[in-house]
Amino acid sequence: MTLQEYDYARESPSKLAASCLLLALTMKNLGGWTPTLEYYSGYSSQDLHPLVKRLNFLLTYQPCDKLNAVRSKYSHRVFFEVAKVTPMDMLKLEETLTSS
């Protein structure tokens, strides 16, 4: 989804990938950012928090009337229907990120 948004072009691909992983871990309640993830990614959890919040905002307020190809593709079983996962409530996300 970020490929369709110009605002994310200035982010480094590694930071974007790490932030997406942290958001996915948080959304699925699979734990937080471990020391191993920090070591291999080069990013601390605090480094990623602002981008994680922006990504969740993008998922929450995505335009439904245009650019549906990505959403349609990732709504299929082959891709585990990840496009249908409900974004986190912004306050709950903030609380979860600050508590870890």
31: left (phi over 0), alpha (psi -120 to 50) or beta: left
Tell me 87's DSSP state: P
Domain range holding 71?
A: 12-99
CA 25, chain centre distance (Å):
9
Q: Smallest Cα–Cα separation from 26: which of 1, 59, 4, 52? A: 52
Q: What band does 74 get if pLDDT is binned at 50, 70 and 90?
A: confident
| Averaged pLDDT for residues 54-76 | 82
How many domains are contained in the chain? 1
The answer to whether position 78 is within a domain reads yes
Classify residue 5: in a domain, yes or no: no
pLDDT of residue 77: 93
The pTM of this model reads 0.85
Residue at 1 is within a domain:
no
Q: Is the pLDDT of residue 97 over 80?
A: yes
